[in-house]
Amino acid sequence: MGEGEQDRRPMSACVMEEKKCFIANKLVLSVIVLGASGDLAKKKTFPALFTLFRKGFLPKNLKLIGYARSKLSNSDLHEKIKGYLKGDDKTKQEFLDRITYVQGQYDGDEGFQGLEKALQEREKDFQGAPLGRLFYLALPPSVYPQVCAGIKKNCTHMNSTGKGSWLRLVIEKPFGMDLKSSEDLANKLGELFPEEQLYRIDHYLGKELMQNMLVLRFANQFLSPTWHRNFISNVQICFKEPFGTEGRGGYFDEFGIIRDVMQNHLTQILALLAMEQPVTLSADDIRDEKVRLLRALSPVALDDTVLGQYTAAGDQPGYLDDETVPKGSKTPTFATCVMRIHNERWAGVPWIMKAGKALNERKVEIRVQYKPPAASIHGDVINEMRNELVLRLQPDEAIYMKIVVKKPGLEMESIVSELDLSYKQRYGDTYIPDAYERLILDAIRGDQQHFVRRDELRAAWAAFTPLLHAIDNGEAEPMQYPAGSRGPPASDILVAKAGFVKNANYIWKREDVPGDIS
């Protein structure tokens, strides 16, 4: 099957075939990490590759090549990486022995010619075997065009006639700053490599609860009939971090919370939650439905948005106290947006996105709130006891349903309780992979299901670009909120206006997980 041909077999069949290929050790795999000396590579990329190596998911004929501008020896790179690898010393050393380093610039041909020479030397003894080259760009997007041009010109000369040989590129977000810049970048990369060779990574798509979304939504008959505007009042997608920029404000200030978190991570969550059932589990069928959904999103209105910027509180400095942040910056570190989907299923249902830094807790969760029963026999109090399906992505993955039950005792009193699937309790002995581990393995297997396609990216930017331009033009200023708080009070007012009702007197009584507060 060719690189661009769509595979419509069940996903399990595709994966099993790939596993057999790995077990048979047919694939000669070279993983090239560009930006090997940077934080992303040492903290995420190499540790993810090491875990896959340690657990036997990578072929024996594996070679890793680090590429960067820094003057490093092989042993220098090994020392940078070693402290981030989790495992026994013997396995660590076996992994490090497979890593070599090539120094080179990100523009011009000389460095990439040196990289190609290293690849040719590595592959020369495997004529007739399938070769795989995976280029992981752990780099700022500003250098993607010249890096991809260097790879295309100098590093695509694979001399194997082995069936199943391939070349793929994994690129990190942000994919542009708005619709135009995203399209400009996509055009430049598209002139060099076809879409089936480009893997735009959004690590949220590799999280366990995101991986569970298609099963939860389309394999449970009790849920399917109620997944509709007739039953659902509103949906919240919430991202909260308890820390601020901590010296990385210069980077963050270029983007702000909407570009950094909402346009990509949270929009991907929305798409999987709201889309229709795909024809199959093939990558393009799934992404077709996500695109169809995202195209139904109305552009986010300024009137449906609250922006914030954290100030100093206690021992935590404010955003503007970060020396890397430009003086007087108006970049939002918090945003709440109410979004609308114009299709038959979701017309009239507010989709509330909330994201912020320096808040009161660390949490990423989805909260689907149902409408109250019509003409309830239990009185008005039931209106404040809403059914909610809650999916907690982090920390400590959990799925729970808030239901109304009778309080034990002699009186007929209604209370809110829950049906609880907490992964730590239910699957305590099961290893839950890191998102990067899962997505890198998918890229090696050629499964693009959990990567962002170009038209998907275009539709997501179209929903946010008018709002971002308004913010950039100074049409809205962020409200101040103290670090460690829930954010600006105006956010709670906007959320309540959108129809969210906080359940009265309810606490998720779990000692190991933060309380149920929205």
Place of tokens 């050629």: 446
Catalytic residue at 450?
no
Q: Are residues 148 and 239 in the same domain?
A: no
Catalytic residue (one of 78, 203, 228, 265): 265
Give the CA distances from residue 384 to residues 351, 378, 408, in Å, rounded to whole numbers and listed in that order: 19, 12, 20
Phi, psi of 343 (to 5 degrees): -145, 175
Task: Quote the CA–CA distance of 101 and 394 in Å, as a whole number.
Answer: 35
Note whether residue 505 is domain-resident.
no
Q: Are residues 84 and 128 in the same domain?
A: yes
Note whether residue 349 is domain-resident.
yes
Q: Outline where 321-378 has alpha helix (H).
A: none
The conformational region for residue 315 under phi > 0 = left, psi -120 to 50 = alpha, else beta, is: alpha
**Is the separation of the CB atoms in 61 and 30 below 8 Å?**
no
Q: Are residues 215 and 163 in the same domain?
A: no
Task: Quote the CA–CA distance of 64 and 75 in Å, as a whole number.
Answer: 14
Domain at 309, CATH number: 3.30.360.10
pLDDT at 72: 93
pLDDT 10s digits, 20-51: 444 446 899 999 999 999 999 999 999 999 99
Q: Are residues 341 and 274 in the same domain?
A: yes
pLDDT 10s digits, 138-171: 998 889 999 999 999 999 988 766 788 999 999 9
Handedness of CA 48, 53, 57, 62 (dihedral sign): positive
- Domain, as residue range, for 365: 208-497
**Is the separation of the CB atoms in 490 and 309 below 8 Å?**
no
Q: Are residues 152 and 226 in the same domain?
A: no
Burial 209-234 (b: 16+ CB within 10 A, else e): bbbbbbebbeeeeeeeeebeeeebbb
Note whether residue 1 is domain-resident.
no
Q: Outline where 163-202 has alpha helix (H).
A: 179-190
Q: Containing H/E element for 29? A: strand 28-34
Q: Are residues 239 and 334 in the same domain?
A: yes
**Is the separation of the CB atoms in 342 and 489 below 8 Å?**
no
**Is the separation of the CB atoms in 478 and 308 below 8 Å?**
yes
Q: Last residue of some domain: 172, 197, 228?
A: 172
Number of domains the chain contains: 2
Q: Are residues 86 and 212 in the same domain?
A: no
Q: Are residues 253 and 161 in the same domain?
A: no
pLDDT at 515: 53
Q: Last residue of some domain: 151, 172, 193?
A: 172
* SS3 label, residue 217: helix
What is the percent of the chain where pLDDT is above 70?
A: 91
Query: Global pTM?
Result: 0.88
- Which positions of the chain have pLDDT values less than 50? 1-24, 517
Domain at 117, CATH number: 3.40.50.720
Note whether residue 5 is domain-resident.
no
Task: Quote the CA–CA distance of 276 and 285 in Å, as a whole number.
Answer: 11
**CB-hemisphere CA count at 13 Å for 449?**
25
Residues 6+ positions from 13 with CB-CB distance below 8 Å: none
Q: Are residues 379 and 330 in the same domain?
A: yes
pLDDT 10s digits, 455-499: 999 999 999 999 999 999 999 999 999 999 999 999 999 999 999
Note whether residue 191 is domain-resident.
no
Q: Outline where 231-348 has alpha helix (H).
A: 249-257, 267-274, 283-295
Note whether residue 514 is domain-resident.
no
Q: Are residues 125 and 238 in the same domain?
A: no
Task: Quote the CA–CA distance of 453 and 30 in Å, as a whole number.
Answer: 24
Give the CA distances from residue 359 to residues 113, 356, 390, 482, in Å, rounded to whole numbers and listed in that order: 48, 7, 20, 8
* Residue of 43, 282, 20, 21 whose CA lies nearest to 132: 21
Task: Quote the CA–CA distance of 283 and 3 in Å, as a whole number.
Answer: 13
Q: Are residues 288 and 432 in the same domain?
A: yes
**Is the separation of the CB atoms in 153 and 109 below 8 Å?**
yes
The conformational region for residue 328 under phi > 0 = left, psi -120 to 50 = alpha, else beta, is: left
Note whether residue 222 is domain-resident.
yes
* Residue of 372, 373, 427 whose CA lies nearest to 399: 427
pLDDT at 25: 63
pLDDT at 414: 78
Handedness of CA 493, 495, 501, 506 (dihedral sign): negative
Note whether residue 469 is domain-resident.
yes
* Residue of 64, 57, 52 whose CA lies nearest to 122: 64
Q: Are residues 145 and 288 in the same domain?
A: no
**Is the separation of the CB atoms in 74 and 99 below 8 Å?**
yes
* Residue of 154, 172, 171 whose CA lies nearest to 108: 154
Q: Last residue of some domain: 113, 145, 172?
A: 172
